[in-house]
Amino acid sequence: MNNIYVITGATGGMGSTLARRFKDKGDLVLCDLNEELLLELQKKLGVNNQIIVGSVTEEDVLNKIFDKVKEMGSLKGIIHFAGVSETFGDPEKIMEINLVGTAKLVNKLEPLVTDGTIIINTASMTAYSTHTNEEVLKLLENPLDENFISNISKYLNNNADLAYGLSKKGVMLLSKTLAPIIGQKGGRIISISPGVIKTPMVEREMAKNSEAINNLISMTPVKRIGTASDIVNLIEFLCSDQASFITGTDILIDGGVTGVFEKIKHN
């Protein structure tokens, strides 16, 4: 059976770079919101790679992904990039898209997990600097609870930045809570926490706020911001047999800047 990789946020900077790198590793199911960009990407990669238009927060989209994977072959990997930043503005929607959507995707495809399947979700370095209490952490561990959004909204203070950080902390927690379940089937689940990555969106920000970006670069131990290839290199390793002992955890890939921020905060 063919190895199938599901890539969400497939037309973004990281998603499209990964799709190009993985096109010879198996068949791809590419999911994103923009049909035109998906068709363009599919044309570049080959028609054996399938596209699905929509958000993983929608049940019909999840059903389409499930059916397509089952029809095409064996689920080798889920690499989930899709999400929104704090600039989206609506705290509850940020939580619903970033965390609930991620949990729904994993929950829907979990029956297809088999020996060697890898699930990689995208958190953020922001989660490391978003501090909270035990009560909120317990809520974040159960994002599929029917009252999750109404319960967590009490702690968001109508603050999009806080919602983003907590949503990504919840994504990190999914790896810990689901690793035993996924492991029973021979699979692994991991989250990655990128720092500032040079995507088209960040490039536009660099053009507007070059001074702030240059200050960030000067604070970063490796003296640069990340690239989509940095992220894809990590994912390629995590999907390989060389990473077969890594599961249930988060991997921070930020050039070391989170540690610098923490040190400044405590001085």
Residue identified by tokens 């930020």 is 254
Q: How many residues are given for the chain? A: 267
| Exposure string for 230-248, b = 16+ CB within 10 A, e = fewer | bbbebbbebbeeebeeebb
Question: What integer pLDDT is reported at residue 263 of this predicted model?
Answer: 82
The share of the chain scoring above pLDDT 70, in percent, equals: 97
- What is this structure's pTM? 0.95
* 51-106: pLDDT as tens digits: 999 999 999 999 999 999 999 999 999 999 999 988 888 999 999 999 999 999 99
Residue 176: HSE in the Cβ half-sphere, 13 Å Cα cutoff: 12
* 36-46: pLDDT as tens digits: 999 999 999 98
Q: In this model, does residue 205 exceed pLDDT 70? A: no
Residue identified by tokens 């088209």 is 200
Question: What integer pLDDT is reported at residue 266 of this predicted model?
Answer: 72
Cβ atoms of residues 39 and 51 within 8 Å: yes
* 223-241: pLDDT as tens digits: 999 999 999 999 999 999 9
Which residue, 194, 146, 162, is CA-closest to 94?
162
For the chain, give the mean pLDDT: 94
Q: Which residues contact 103 (CB under 8 A, 6 or more apart)?
A: 143, 144, 174
- DSSP states along 100-160: IHHHHHHHHHGGG--TT-EEEEE--THHHH----HHHHHHHT-TTSTTHHHHHHTTTTT-H
Nearest-angstrom CA–CA distance, 163 and 99: 10
Nearest-angstrom CA–CA distance, 82 and 146: 22
Cβ atoms of residues 17 and 232 within 8 Å: yes
Question: What integer pLDDT is reported at residue 206 of this predicted model?
Answer: 67
Which token pair is 103?
């949990």
Question: What is the β-pairing status of strands 226-227 and 197-198?
Answer: parallel
